Structure 1
Amino acid sequence: MTESHDQAAATDGGDVRAGTSGGGPGSEEGLDARLLVERGTFRLDVALRVAPGEVVALLGPNGAGKTTALRALAGLTPLSGGHLRLDGTELDRTPTESRPVGVVFQDYLLFPHLTALDNVAFGPRCHGATKAEARARAAEWLDRMGLAAHAGAKPRKLSGGQAQRVALARALATRPRLLLLDEPLAALDARTRLEVRAQLRRHLADFEAVAVLVTHDPLDAMVLADRLVVVEDGRIVQEGSPSHIARHPRTDYIAQLVGLNLYQGQADGHTVRLDAGPAVTTTEALTGPVFVAFPPSAVTLHRDRPTGSSARNLWHGKVTGLETHGDQIRADLTGELPLAADLTTVAAAELDLHPGAEVWATVKATQTHAYRS
């Protein structure tokens, strides 16, 4: 299924805070941008309104344009059109090095010949602080990051988590009005990522200016951001709070991101006739075009057609693939209704599941969720 929405329709009604692209903040504070960038056949057209104290995450598949958007915000990629205003000031007319913008890159980009202290002090020095002032501010930020004992260490002596925190301290030490984070946790191992994510969340909660995070990781976005902006093919397809988007995905990419089976169809009461073919019985009574979603964990598989089942939804299919998904097995099915189902390793073994196996899939109506498209 392919879904397309214009940017206005992509904003979830009643779910966007004041100051977002769904409405004005009532003042010139914060970020007000329309990023138009044309590069060959690719065109980025993204509007962002972000209030001070708000953290917005840009999500999207590879090539969607989220990194281009971040580079345009940083002044590293010139705009082809649109505007970029921060606290009422036209940033696109301000030299990159003079902008009140801090950037944390995926690979940290620390100066290898400088100590952690001097790396952090570099930003304030570039903004006019004296050497003593810059080093004092750097020492304060390293202490906040729990890195006071590593002030004299050079980047090669730091762990990945420590280097990431030095990079964050360097960005924050300039007292930016716009903080940009480009996949800030991507280079960390799973254990370090958990620790640094929690620490980053605390720092972002205390950050009084605008923060924009680019990530492909849904957990990073859900934990760190107040609002998600999903970009596909250079434009916004959906935005809203993490909880709203997780429950109301509007494209296949978002559904896969939050782990849901997603379909579109026409509702008539509790029955939705899907564009994909069969009907689904839902608890919601609606009329007209809708989405229907349910998690893979809601699907029960049977090798024989079940009798006496309380499930109102029953489809015949064939297993096309099996893979480990966390502590479970995810089965991909084709047939009457292509879907994903999660089951335990024991259940998969008892069903003798393998690619090509024919199965029956059931889903209770109470485990589906229908909402207007």
Structure 2
Amino acid sequence: MTDIDETAHRVRAGDGPDTGLDAHLVVDRGGFRLDVPLTAAPGEVVALLGPNGAGKTTALRALAGLVPLTGGRLRLDGAELERTPPEKRPVGVVFQDYLLFPHLSALDNVAFGPRCQGATRAEARAQAAEWLARMGLADHAGAKPRRLSGGQAQRVAVARALATRPRLLLLDEPLAALDARTRLEVRAQLRRHLAEFEAVAVLVTHDPLDAMVLADRLVVVEHGRVVQEGTPPEIARRPRTDYIAQLVGLNLYRGRAGGHLVRLESGTALTTTEKLTGPAFVAFPPGAVTLHRERPADTSARNLWRCEVAGLETHGDRIRADLTGELALAADLTTVAAAELGLEPGAGVWAAVKAAQTHAYPA
């Protein structure tokens, strides 16, 4: 039995509460400090989501053993991995640029891991052929990476990571190198492969769609700290920072609630259907906002603010207006509506939102 086999055996020996990932990643790098608790059960896909510089890739590299922890812990299936060198960890990694060996065929790229674990050349190539077949790449086994499309190279990279039968699969922006059309197809394929994976998978991405589609649970990281975690619907329904609200397309405000009224620090008040007391968030989609050039006399909306158009941009098949004034917010409207209102930067408007279209929840 090789050193890798022994480590893998010890890790797989854990069961019950000791199965899965139990980590508290603390890394100090210059003036930046990563402090992220992270747990996951076998079969669970967790996405680390956050803006550039949040610490997502540092967390991934710490899990892989490529960056040493300065504190915290790292346990996988009950085994402590803090002092285990990267090559002896039962961890598979799919890098952002895939990092396939350019001089090896797809088959030998995938066979590399089993060979390092002690398999004979014939055994390793047989395992690799099986993985390529699962990925729909049996006909490309002899191709060098330069002959593969972006989607094919991505699937070879996933097969190479899975061929070692890891207990922890790490994926660093696995779809970032693909064009939009290829990403749509590969995302669906990757979701199927992750659903079949029996151990823990951790995905790093800044793309909310990748995170929502691929992950069972999201951990949102900003400035090296976890700011929110939950299932994709929970995160989308109740964002707790401006970054998350922008990702899921909501206007978000924090204030103090008293009954159906939430008052912001600026003094602006928002009327909601929920009845709350104490610190609260209020959220509503840009599509819930209606704009008027004159103060409307016949609106049933309980929320009405005097604003000014700060900017306009195309957003899908609609126009998004960024507004400042009594309340800073985004409003979506059709191209026809924008033209009829004569919207342009600097134009004054009234923004209305019905209380029934807001969502308030405790902060």
What range is the shorter-chain TM-score in? Answer: over 0.9
**Inter-partner Cα distance in structure 2 for 1:137 and 1:352:** 64
Aligned partner (choices 214, 231, 235) of residue 241 of structure 1: 231
Match of 1:157 in 2: 147
Match of 1:147 in 2: 137
Q: Per-residue CA shift, 1:55-91, capped at 9, x if unaligned?
A: 0000111111011000000111111111111111111
Match of 1:68 in 2: 58
**Inter-partner Cα distance in structure 2 for 1:153 and 1:180:** 25
Contact residue 277 and residue 337 of structure 1 kept, 8 A: no
Contact residue 272 and residue 279 of structure 1 kept, 8 A: yes
**Inter-partner Cα distance in structure 2 for 1:122 and 1:104:** 14
**Inter-partner Cα distance in structure 1 for 2:289 and 2:311:** 16
Q: CA deviation at 1:275?
A: 2.0
**1:58 and 2:52 aligned:** no
Identity rate, percent: 83
Matches within 5 A, 1:73-152: 73-152=63-142
Give 5+ residue unaligned stretches, structure 2. 1-14
Match of 2:175 in 1: 185
Q: TM-score, normalised by structure 1?
A: 0.92
2:284 counterpart letter in structure 1: F
Aligned partner (choices 206, 219, 243) of residue 253 of structure 1: 243
Query: How many residues were matched structurally?
Result: 349
2:115 counterpart letter in structure 1: R
Aligned partner (choices 191, 194, 198) of residue 184 of structure 2: 194
2:252 counterpart letter in structure 1: L
1:292 counterpart letter in structure 2: V
2:298 counterpart letter in structure 1: G
**Inter-partner Cα distance in structure 2 for 1:140 and 1:316:** 64
What is the DSSP-based 3-state SS (H/G/I as helix, E as strand, rest coil) of the residue aligned with 2:277?
A: strand
What is the DSSP-based 3-state SS (H/G/I as helix, E as strand, rest coil) of the residue aligned with 1:119?
A: helix
Match of 2:339 in 1: 349
Q: Per-residue CA shift, 1:109-144, capped at 9, x if unaligned?
A: 001111111111111111111111111111111111
Aligned partner (choices 341, 353, 357) of residue 363 of structure 1: 353
Match of 1:287 in 2: 277
**Inter-partner Cα distance in structure 2 for 1:220 and 1:287:** 36
Q: CA deviation at 1:265?
A: 0.8
Q: TM-score, normalised by structure 2?
A: 0.95
Contact residue 74 and residue 96 of structure 1 kept, 8 A: yes
**Runs (4+) of structure 1 moved beyond 4 Å?**
none
What is the DSSP-based 3-state SS (H/G/I as helix, E as strand, rest coil) of the residue aligned with 2:345?
A: coil
Q: CA deviation at 1:26?
A: 5.3
**1:167 and 2:161 aligned:** no
Q: Per-residue CA shift, 1:16-36, capped at 9, x if unaligned?
A: xxxxxxxxx951111111111
- Structural RMSD (CA): 0.9
**Inter-partner Cα distance in structure 2 for 1:304 and 1:362:** 11
Q: CA deviation at 1:277?
A: 2.6
**Inter-partner Cα distance in structure 2 for 1:277 and 1:249:** 22
Q: CA deviation at 1:324?
A: 1.0
Q: CA deviation at 1:276?
A: 3.3
Aligned partner (choices 289, 296, 300) of residue 306 of structure 1: 296
Match of 2:24 in 1: 34
What is the DSSP-based 3-state SS (H/G/I as helix, E as strand, rest coil) of the residue aligned with 1:93?
A: coil
What is the DSSP-based 3-state SS (H/G/I as helix, E as strand, rest coil) of the residue aligned with 1:103?
A: strand
Q: CA deviation at 1:263?
A: 0.3
Match of 2:306 in 1: 316
1:100 counterpart letter in structure 2: P
Q: Per-residue CA shift, 1:255-297, capped at 9, x if unaligned?
A: 1111110001111111111223311110101111100000011
Q: CA deviation at 1:319?
A: 0.5
